[in-house]
Amino acid sequence: MSNTARGYAAKNGSNKLELMEYQLKNLEANEVEIDIDHCGVCGTDVSYINNKFGTTNYPFIGGHEIVGRITKMGSRITDFNLGTKVGVGFFRGFCNKCSHCHDENENLCSLKEPTIASNGGFSNRIRVQANACVPIPDGLDYAKVSPLLCAGITVFSPLVEYNVSSMSKVAVIGVGGLGHVALMFLKKWGCEVTAITSTKSKATDAKTFGADKVIGTYDEKEQQKFSQYFDMIFYTIEEDLQWNNLLDLVAPNGRLHFLGLPKQEISFNILNLLRFQKTISASIVGSPKRMFEMLKFASKHQVLPVTEQFHFSKINEAIRKLEANELRYRAVLSWNL
Ligand SMILES: [Zn+2]
Ligand SMILES: [Zn+2]
């Protein structure tokens, strides 16, 4: 009985997730079992549910913003206690042998295993490698932690990786699930923060989250005032933009950094880069060590995503709102509402 779990599965040809029971794999010596309390719903889950990348195996159980308590430990686990509250993000395991794993950059391991590669967090119980788990610091609102484990680490990691400082001028394109968390972290990081949005109605929200300024993507005149201005621009949406115009907004030695996937492949005029030593880069999430730093920072500065809470049984409604762009701003599922 204790090897059984239940989760909300997408099945081939159906657009509704349904509750399914399944057997958990044996608990390995380096794994823990987690009783799940909350799990966030991320756009990536929905992409896999809809087989956007053509690689989804059905029945598919998504969910990679897992928050819960450790209820079982493999024989080699010494650094956790039963009952410890932990988070698990996009990866549930690593090879633990390669140079990236040894350097605590496990997110760069070529054998890393995505949490949703097998039954993920839209469930009541999961077994993952212990070193994929991050303890949740006291002082964070437990019900709001989930989106930090994907959206939060995605925007926090480049701040450390690329030495963004409190003197930096940073723009965030998009005020959505990812963008609103980016604005919050950047404000607390001490940066001058600008939101760039196509949605006029989000200007007030953007300022609440920490934007000092808001620019419309539709407002080319206003954008011209920010030529060569931003040390870092975070792209957090999925729309195609005027890429060379956007590069003009990047300051000398500055960086355009992709955290979202544009619809089309992109071409740039390299002259726009080399004349002022500009960089284009991209990343997703970060290592467990970096996730722990991020959670401690979020706890200290009370960076908390704006969430809508749903009981797990309302998962289809949460996904419908996400797809209709109606969420303000991230959905979190809970067994205890
Ligand atoms: Zn995600
Ligand atoms: Zn590795």
Q: pLDDT tens across 92-102, in order? A: 999 999 999 99
132-177 pLDDT, tens per residue? 999 999 999 999 999 999 999 999 999 999 999 999 999 999 999 9
Distance CA 52, CA 116 (A): 14
Fold classification of 152-282 (topology level): Rossmann fold (3.40.50)
pLDDT at residue number 142: 95
Cα of 120 vs centre of ligand 2, distance in Å, is 21
Cα of 44 vs centre of ligand 1, distance in Å, is 5
| DSSP symbols for 245-258 | HHHHTEEEEEEEEE
- Give the pairing type, strands 279-282 and 250-258: parallel
Cα of 323 vs centre of ligand 1, distance in Å, is 14
Task: Profile the chain (337 residues) by mean pLDDT over runs of 10 residues.
Answer: 90 89 97 98 95 94 98 96 98 98 97 97 98 96 97 98 98 96 98 94 94 90 93 96 94 97 92 95 97 98 97 98 94 95
Residue 289 tokens, joined = 């060590």
Residue 220 tokens, joined = 């080319």
Distance CA 44, CA 48 (A): 6
The neighbour count for residue 270, using CB atoms within 10 Å, is 10
pLDDT at residue number 68: 98
Distance CA 324, CA 225 (A): 33
Q: Which residues have CB atoms below 5 A from the ion given as ligand 1?
A: 42, 44, 150
pLDDT at residue number 103: 97
Distance CA 96, CA 108 (A): 11
Residue 72 tokens, joined = 């079982």
Q: Which residues contact 151 (CB under 8 A, 6 or more apart)?
A: 40, 42, 177, 178, 181, 305, 330
Cα of 154 vs centre of ligand 1, distance in Å, is 9
Cα of 93 vs centre of ligand 2, distance in Å, is 9
pLDDT at residue number 12: 85
Ligand nearest to the CA of 96: 2
Residue 94 tokens, joined = 């690593």
Ligand nearest to the CA of 90: 1
Q: Where are the domains of the chain?
A: 4-149+304-334, 152-282
Q: Is the CATH number of domain 4-149+304-334 2.60.120.200?
A: no
Cα of 224 vs centre of ligand 2, distance in Å, is 45
Are 5 and 59 a contacting pair, CB within 8 Å?
no
Could you give the 3-state DSSP secondary structure of residue 175?
A: coil
